[in-house]
Structure 1
Amino acid sequence: MLRLIAALLLLTACATPPAALPASGPADALIVDLDRQPDETVRLWPASPPGGIPAGLAEHYVERANPYGLADRALLEVTDPTLSVFRPAHPDGSAILIIPGGGYKWVVVEKEGYEGARWFSRRGATVYVMSYRLPQQGWAGGPDTPLQDAQRAMRVIRARAGEDGIDPSRIMVMGFSAGGHVAGLLTTRFDANVYPATDAADALPARPDASVLVYPVITLSKPYTHAASRENMIGADPSPDDVAAHSVETAPPANAPPVFILHAADDPAVPVENALMAYQAFRAAGVPASLHIFEHGGHGFGLRGIDDDPLHAWPKLVIDWGRDAGIFRH
């Protein structure tokens, strides 16, 4: 059945060799405003995160090489998760919580965070890029640690709605790779009680109003899981209950928000079956779901190197879908 759906939904794409991207380009360029940094950084937790900070962690960045000559940092050993805020010049009241990937090894800052924030904020959205704690580093929340941060992020965004000029009923979550797993957990477990309330913001709902999952890790079950994400999330020898509890496809609720799923059929890291499983599970639960599968693209493309490729269409597909879902107005 999974292969049948894949065959029916493949979109023709062609691979293009990577090329350096200019600092500025045509109006429809995806990599824009290279020098732009967040307008504000907001801490998720007023004191320390739930359960306190494990000994021995030291939050720091590493630089990653890439063929585009672009900034490409990864954040390791996160101890103070934050929201990096990108405000639009012409806001339409919408908001996006972006959750970058990194296999639960680190958080990819620019490639799956700031670059998308710059593009979507140009189209009227106030964008919040989340850094989050990694589950294998001794946190009291264990595998629920990233979900704690994601729930808290949605509540903090809603608490700031008046200050930031957004509509608290028009907030989208967008996750990439392992960040797609975090976003998927938030989409299906938004009302799970995973941390004690810390302030008035925690009385607000954590449910996103729409969810975009980009080449997401969905299942922690073999053979289709991403091995590193699975091990970093639930360990090398998890129980079947742990696998099921932290797989997105196992129990989506009927009141989950509408979902947009994007993947490449030739993804060598996170098999496309993850996207197919998610689509089938949300449909079976009666949740509106849209699935887009490109024939080529590999894994981790984000917005890079796709200006002359069919993948170039994906951000605009999100805008059109989000407008139909009531998130965007422009």
Structure 2
Amino acid sequence: MADIQDYPTSSVHSAPDIIPLYEGYPPGSEKWNWEEKAVNASSWAPRIVYDVVTPAIQVFRPACANGTAVLIIPGGGYHWLSVDQEGSTVAQWLNEQGITAFVLKYRTVHSNSGHPLRDMLESWHCINQADREKLAAVQQMAVKDALLALAHIRDQAAAYRIDETKLGILGFSAGGAITLSAACCPLSVEKPAFLALVYPGVVDTATLSIPAGRMPMFLTVSADDWLGLAPATLRIAEKWMAAKQPCELHLYQNGIHGCGVTPKDVPMDGWKDRFTAWLRWNELLPA
């Protein structure tokens, strides 16, 4: 993967709410000629976007900022993005804690059918070599988009009134896998101050290059996650602790994959309080 400095960024002057990350076509997807779409999918994922061509971040500013900032990376199996359930709703909740939030819209796999949820489920069961290569390419693009977003936020820290030493990433599902891959990218100088992974997607932990500098990690997942992500999440925690990195893991008996911060009357609803307490312990929120 090329260093993030190889990619042109768009500068911000008036700090608009939605900021494109690239000037012109993003490298690697110059020939993508489809348009981004949004749909109300279901009660599980109320609003999603798919066929994302133009990576961007949306800024959510708190009424009283405390300097801490979080880049939120929604999930969606790389086929679509849960921009509300794991995006704007999360950002608004963080704003209530005084945290400045940025929701990343990263590139996704093109939906030929116009039904991205169905495409995702079908690909899991009958993925061929061509689809596997396509997915791997989009995964790499998503990591580059995340690193570029991180670089942009750090570069504009003064304009956003944030402390760049308190800039972290919070990733959900596939967004959790992107978060971990971005933090461990050996060729990038862009490193978050902390990580939070909520029911993170599977990552090959054997290939991870754990950063040398201190990078606390918060992990949470449920034992009954319908994607079976608990064992992989435990392996991430083991890898992090083996590298002598600070790590806090919450494994709940019951939860709902894709819930974000929306209460679902399950034990995993409590992860938000645990995360807030963890931020305070690591001096990322006022006591």
Alpha-carbon contact 1:43-1:83 (below 8 Å) kept = yes
1:57 to 15, 18, 34: 34
- After TM superposition, give the deviation of residue 298 of structure 1 in Å: 3.3
Whole-angstrom distance in 1 between the partners of 2:26 and 2:84: 24
Q: Deviations over 1:189-235 (max 9, x none)?
A: 1x425xxxxxxxxxxx410100000000133xxxxxxxxxxxxxxxx
1:261 is matched with: 219
Alpha-carbon contact 1:184-1:248 (below 8 Å) kept = no
2:240 to 282, 288, 297: 282
- After TM superposition, give the deviation of residue 42 of structure 1 in Å: 1.1
2:192 is matched with: 208
- 1:42 equivalent in alignment to 2:38: no
2:86 is matched with: 112
Whole-angstrom distance in 1 between the partners of 2:96 and 2:206: 33
- After TM superposition, give the deviation of residue 162 of structure 1 in Å: 0.6
Distance 1:43 1:56, change over 3 A: closer
Whole-angstrom distance in 1 between the partners of 2:199 and 2:29: 32
Whole-angstrom distance in 1 between the partners of 2:198 and 2:49: 20
The one-letter amino acid of 1:327's match is: L
Distance 1:73 1:248, change over 3 A: farther
Alpha-carbon contact 1:53-1:79 (below 8 Å) kept = no
Alpha-carbon contact 2:184-2:208 (below 8 Å) kept = yes
- After TM superposition, give the deviation of residue 323 of structure 1 in Å: 2.1
2:283 is matched with: 326
Q: Deviations over 1:100-126 (max 9, x none)?
A: 000111111100001110001111000
Whole-angstrom distance in 2 between the partners of 1:251 and 1:93: 30
1:243 is matched with: none
Whole-angstrom distance in 2 between the partners of 1:52 and 1:301: 31
2:202 counterpart SS class: coil
Alpha-carbon contact 2:255-2:266 (below 8 Å) kept = no
Distance 1:317 1:39, change over 3 A: farther
- After TM superposition, give the deviation of residue 135 of structure 1 in Å: 5.6
Gaps of 5+ in 1: 1-37, 194-204, 220-246
1:296 counterpart SS class: coil
Whole-angstrom distance in 2 between the partners of 1:268 and 1:94: 33
After TM superposition, the score normalised by the length of structure 2 is 0.80
- After TM superposition, give the deviation of residue 302 of structure 1 in Å: 1.4
Alpha-carbon contact 2:199-2:220 (below 8 Å) kept = yes
The one-letter amino acid of 1:264's match is: S
1:148 is matched with: 144
The one-letter amino acid of 1:172's match is: G
- After TM superposition, give the deviation of residue 80 of structure 1 in Å: 0.8
Alpha-carbon contact 2:176-2:199 (below 8 Å) kept = yes
Higher relative contact order (CA 8 A, sep 6+): 1
- 1:311 equivalent in alignment to 2:280: no
- After TM superposition, give the deviation of residue 44 of structure 1 in Å: 1.0
Distance 1:152 1:139, change over 3 A: farther
- After TM superposition, give the deviation of residue 53 of structure 1 in Å: 2.4
1:192 is matched with: 187
- After TM superposition, give the deviation of residue 248 of structure 1 in Å: 4.1
- After TM superposition, give the deviation of residue 175 of structure 1 in Å: 0.3
In the alignment of these two chains, the number of paired residues is 250
Whole-angstrom distance in 1 between the partners of 2:181 and 2:110: 17
Alpha-carbon contact 1:174-1:180 (below 8 Å) kept = yes
1:169 counterpart SS class: helix
Q: CA RMSD in A?
A: 2.4
Alpha-carbon contact 2:80-2:109 (below 8 Å) kept = no
2:69 is matched with: 95
Whole-angstrom distance in 2 between the partners of 1:139 and 1:299: 21
2:165 is matched with: 169
Greater helix share, structure number: 2
The one-letter amino acid of 1:42's match is: I
Whole-angstrom distance in 2 between the partners of 1:91 and 1:300: 28
* Identity fraction in percent: 31
Whole-angstrom distance in 2 between the partners of 1:169 and 1:55: 36
1:279 counterpart SS class: helix
1:281 counterpart SS class: helix
Q: Deviations over 1:159-192 (max 9, x none)?
A: 1101110001101100000011101111211x42
